[in-house]
Amino acid sequence: MQAVMCAGAGQLYVEKQPKPDISAGMIRAKIAFGGICGSDLHYYQHGGFGQVRIKEPLALGHEVSGLVDAIGEGVEGRYIGERIAISPSRPCGHCRFCQMGLHNQCLTMRFYGSAMPFPHIQGAFCEYIMLHPYQVHPVADHVTLSEAALAEPLSVGLHAIQRAGSVVGANVLVTGCGPIGSLLIGALRRSGAATIVAADIADLPLTCASAMGADKVVNLATDPEGLSAFTADKGHFDVVFEASGSAPAFLNALDVVRARGVVVVVGVGAEVNIPLSQIVGKEIDVRGTFRFHQEFATAVRFLNDRLVDGRPVISGVQPVANVIAAFNMAGDKSKSLKVQIEFEH
């Protein structure tokens, strides 16, 4: 089978690997589509991110969909050829965080395509992959497998909303309208937010944000003071989701969130000198959000029921033979949002 491998910065290639044998209690899937995530890009462009570095060849990818190819002994309720979205979250189920229901914080999480532990956790950009039954989520006939591969980034957005608390009737700002930010806007629209303002530094993601349900968009590159009106009287927004990973965007969030409002940090990247006096004086809650677990089933249901239509997020699809072109396309944020790799299926 073919697998998309990365051995370090700029070292991306397709490798022939043996097809995994089916085993009892497991499901083998044939992968159809895989979305290129920001972490995949970091591995390709820089060999890692922060302190995380590739130390051995790593199969990339964790945003995937496909077809059930084989069913192991003891597995019930699945059938060959079933169209599925695949959760990349594989917690141990036994550690103290799993026992608390915080599966995304699992101490031995085996999340696809991760160089955090060593040996690395190999990813899902492979023609065939072995799955636990709980990772398998059926996809409705009217939803394409390309759309189904959006369940993972949508899950990230849903978990961010869960971290914020209720957004019913809330005035919300989303900064950074890439795939996760735009899908987050779609989820906010379904979660009861009263008004949603989206901010970015490029027109393409803002066009997508509007299509996903934003009431107002602000291009901070052409209108640097576009959010300044929201700083009056100790801020305007009940909740700010910072999805860009930009230090100025985070500091701006503290200016525009209201007193006792919530800032949810979705994007990572920059180191920030935090103005503690502002956080203390306005009593701002700053909350992190990391991956997801239970939210994946909800994300698939939202896609199946068209409660969130993710199609505006998909910028292009490339066959696996063109994987380098696909990654270069995904890295050009002025032209692309979500770029996917298509495997033969």
Residue 2's pLDDT is: 95
Question: Model confidence at 183, in pLDDT bands (50, 70, 90)?
Answer: very high
**Is the peptide bond prior to 319 cis by the omega test (within 30 degrees of 0)?**
no
Question: Does some domain include residue 69?
Answer: yes
The per-residue pLDDT of the chain, averaged, comes to 96
How many angstroms separate the CA atoms of 45 and 282, rounded? 39
Question: Who contacts 301 (Cβ-Cβ below 8 Å, separation ≥6)?
Answer: 307
Calculate mean pLDDT across residues 209-238.
Answer: 97
Same-domain check for residues 53 and 131: yes
Question: Does some domain include residue 296?
Answer: no
C-beta neighbour count of 91 within 10 angstroms: 20
Percent above pLDDT 70 for the chain: 100
Question: Does some domain include residue 110?
Answer: yes
How many angstroms separate the CA atoms of 2 and 12, rounded? 13
Residue 165: left (phi > 0), alpha (psi -120 to 50), or beta?
A: left
Give residue-wise pLDDT tens across range 245-289: 999 999 999 999 999 999 999 988 778 889 999 999 999 999 999
Same-domain check for residues 8 and 146: yes
Residue 51's pLDDT is: 85
Same-domain check for residues 167 and 65: no
The pair of structure tokens assigned to 55 is 């130390």
Residue 86's pLDDT is: 98
Question: Model confidence at 215, in pLDDT bands (50, 70, 90)?
Answer: very high
Question: Does some domain include residue 304?
Answer: no
Q: For residues 235 and 282, is the Cβ–Cβ distance under 8 A?
A: yes
Q: Measure the CA angle with vertex 160, ends 154 and 166; round to 5°.
A: 115
Closest CA to 57 of 120, 117, 130, 109: 120
Give residue-wise pLDDT tens across range 70-107: 999 999 999 999 999 999 999 999 999 999 999 999 99
Same-domain check for residues 169 and 275: yes
Same-domain check for residues 330 and 251: no
How many angstroms separate the CA atoms of 242 and 283, rounded? 18
Same-domain check for residues 9 and 137: yes
Give residue-wise pLDDT tens across range 37-47: 999 999 999 99
Q: For residues 128 and 30, is the Cβ–Cβ distance under 8 A?
A: yes
CATH number of the domain that residue 141 is part of? 3.90.180.10
Q: For residues 217 and 198, is the Cβ–Cβ distance under 8 A?
A: yes
Same-domain check for residues 10 and 132: yes
Q: How many domains does the chain have?
A: 2
Q: Residue 324's domain spans which residues?
A: 2-150+310-342
Question: Does some domain include residue 90?
Answer: yes
Same-domain check for residues 338 and 248: no
Same-domain check for residues 162 and 144: no
Least confident of 121-135, 138-152, 198-212, 270-284: 270-284
pLDDT beyond 90 at 139: yes
Q: Measure the CA angle with vertex 253, ends 267 and 241; round to 5°.
A: 45
Question: Does some domain include residue 294?
Answer: no
Question: Does some domain include residue 293?
Answer: no
Q: For residues 89 and 83, is the Cβ–Cβ distance under 8 A?
A: no
CATH number of the domain that residue 189 is part of? 3.40.50.720
Question: Model confidence at 23, in pLDDT bands (50, 70, 90)?
Answer: very high
Percent above pLDDT 90 for the chain: 94
Residue 218's pLDDT is: 98
Question: Does some domain include residue 298?
Answer: no
Same-domain check for residues 10 and 138: yes
Residue 268's pLDDT is: 82
How many angstroms separate the CA atoms of 187 and 145, rounded? 20
Same-domain check for residues 115 and 199: no
Same-domain check for residues 208 and 328: no
- The runs of H, that is alpha helices, within the chain are 38-46, 96-99, 145-148, 151-164, 179-190, 203-212, 247-256, 276-282, 295-304, 323-331
Q: What one-character-per-residue DSSP string does 36-92 give? A: PPHHHHHHHHHSEETTEE--S-EE---EEEEEEEEE-TT--S--TT-EEEE------
